[in-house]
């Protein structure tokens, strides 16, 4: 069956005339059916922890568009919650967490091995999806990368420059690295349980990798990704891993070799022509249409989509956005993108 799945063929290094397509945040607020299901759940976290409804919103874009992959509907901050952090969402503002900035706060966290009771509804969502997805559709699981997750745990919220996390790593390196290690091993446990439940690929989202420079990027973005990927490969030799060090710039070069990931996802701050020359030489790449095209549409969307497909046509490629689709996107523009990639 794996040979019939376009996404798995790309991850195995196969060059295909038409690349597989999926979208980050493809289950989301731009779809009216998602908004209706979220209203039924009551709030975002209730939706994440309701296996039937989380499976439903994961399936909605597959039914509507026929993407080649579905990505589990969850959130990267469920791992901190399972580790014992308080987590809540403020309407219109985003997530809030209890902070980890002192040793006493870190000492209250759960061991990495004790996350599964909290996260068991997520694994049930995976089991439902493994049964209900079309046979040609690949199921992707995911987690946040340790650096990105740590930035939220340290600041208690998203920040424009990840300043609190940078400050802690400089002022109390031992505490910062202990937190990163705890997240790293919890992530291995979490992704392993997703695989046991039925996901076929895992993706590591390092959304704030771009704020790490030089040796800090290697130590706190590349190295945790390498540790996680190595552990997953040892436990599950056939499971591909996608790494996404967003806004890494030159850091994309050699990332696959340094971490062992099977595919490097690219944001749209790098050009496809550059990435084909410097990143795709090491294997599969994913990306990298600007998500703004899903809002504006038109001939610019068509032209840029074609340019990306052409730039990556000589190597394994998964078509995707450079970041998640935004709530103000037009669903018709998503269909236009898909039709353009598939040559209709």
Instruction: Establish whether 25 is a catalytic residue.
Output: yes
Q: In this structure, how many other beta carbons lie within 10 angstroms of the beta carbon of residue 323?
A: 22
Encoded tokens for 139: 């199921």
Q: Which two tokens stand for residue 299?
A: 């001939």
Is residue 38 annotated as part of the catalytic site, yes or no?
yes
Q: Give the pair of three-digit tokens for residue 322.
A: 């450079």
Q: Are 226 and 243 in contact (CB under 8 A)?
A: no
CB atoms within 10 A of CB 13: 12
The long-range contacts involving 219-225, CB below 8 angstroms and separated by at least 24 positions, are 220/146, 220/147, 220/169, 220/180, 221/145, 221/147, 221/245, 221/248, 221/251, 222/251, 222/255, 222/258, 222/259, 224/145, 224/146, 224/147, 224/180, 224/183, 224/184, 225/145, 225/259, 225/261
Instruction: Name the catalytic one among 25, 169, 182, 246.
Output: 25
Q: Whose CA is closest to 275, among 251, 295, 293? A: 251
29 catalytic? Reply is yes
Of the residues 30, 34, 38, 49, which is catalytic?
38
Report whether the peptide linkage leading into residue 288 is cis, meaning its omega lies within 30 degrees of zero.
yes
Active site residue 152: yes
**Which position among 49, 123, 152, 220 bears the catalytic label?**
152
Catalytically annotated residue among 9, 49, 68, 75: 75
Is 236 catalytic? The answer is: no
The structure tokens 């340790």 sit at 146
Q: First-to-last CA distance in the chain?
A: 26
Whether 184 contacts 228, CB under 8 Å: yes
Whether 167 and 216 have beta carbons less than 8 Å apart is answered as no
**Which are the catalytic amino acids?**
25, 29, 38, 75, 152
């Amino acid at each position: 069956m794996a040979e019939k799945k376009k996404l798995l063929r790309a991850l195995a290094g196969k060059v295909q005339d038409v690349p597989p397509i999926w979208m980050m945040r493809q289950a989301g607020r731009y779809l009216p059916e998602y908004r209706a299901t979220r209203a039924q759940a009551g709030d975002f976290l209730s939706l994440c922890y309701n296996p039937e409804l989380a499976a439903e919103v994961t399936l909605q874009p597959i039914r509507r568009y026929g993407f080649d992959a579905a990505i589990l509907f969850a959130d990267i901050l469920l791992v901190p919650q399972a580790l014992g952090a308080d987590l809540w969402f403020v309407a219109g503002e985003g997530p809030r967490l209890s902070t980890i900035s002192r040793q006493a706060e870190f000492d209250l966290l759960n061991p990495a091995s004790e996350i599964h009771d909290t996260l068991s509804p997520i694994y049930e969502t995976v089991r439902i999806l493994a049964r209900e997805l079309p046979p040609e559709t690949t199921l992707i699981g995911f987690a946040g990368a340790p650096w990105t997750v740590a930035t939220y745990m340290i600041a208690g919220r998203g920040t424009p420059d990840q300043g609190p996390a940078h400050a802690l790593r400089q002022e109390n390196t031992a505490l910062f690295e202990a937190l990163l290690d705890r997240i790293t091993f919890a992530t291995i446990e979490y992704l392993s349980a997703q695989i046991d439940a039925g996901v076929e690929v895992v993706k590591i989202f390092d959304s704030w990798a771009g704020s790490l420079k030089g040796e800090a990027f290697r130590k706190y973005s590349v190295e945790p990704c390498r540790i996680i990927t190595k552990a997953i490969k040892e436990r599950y030799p056939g499971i591909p891993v996608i790494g996404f060090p967003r806004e890494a710039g030159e850091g994309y070069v050699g990332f696959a070799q340094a971490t062992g990931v099977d595919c490097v996802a690219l944001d749209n701050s790098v050009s496809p022509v550059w990435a084909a020359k410097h990143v795709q030489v090491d294997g599969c790449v994913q990306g990298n249409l600007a998500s703004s095209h899903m809002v504006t549409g038109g001939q610019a969307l068509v032209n840029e989509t074609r340019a990306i497909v052409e730039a990556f046509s000589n190597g394994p490629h998964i078509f995707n956005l450079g970041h998640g689709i935004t709530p103000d996107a037009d669903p018709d523009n998503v269909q236009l993108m898909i039709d353009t990639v598939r040559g209709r």
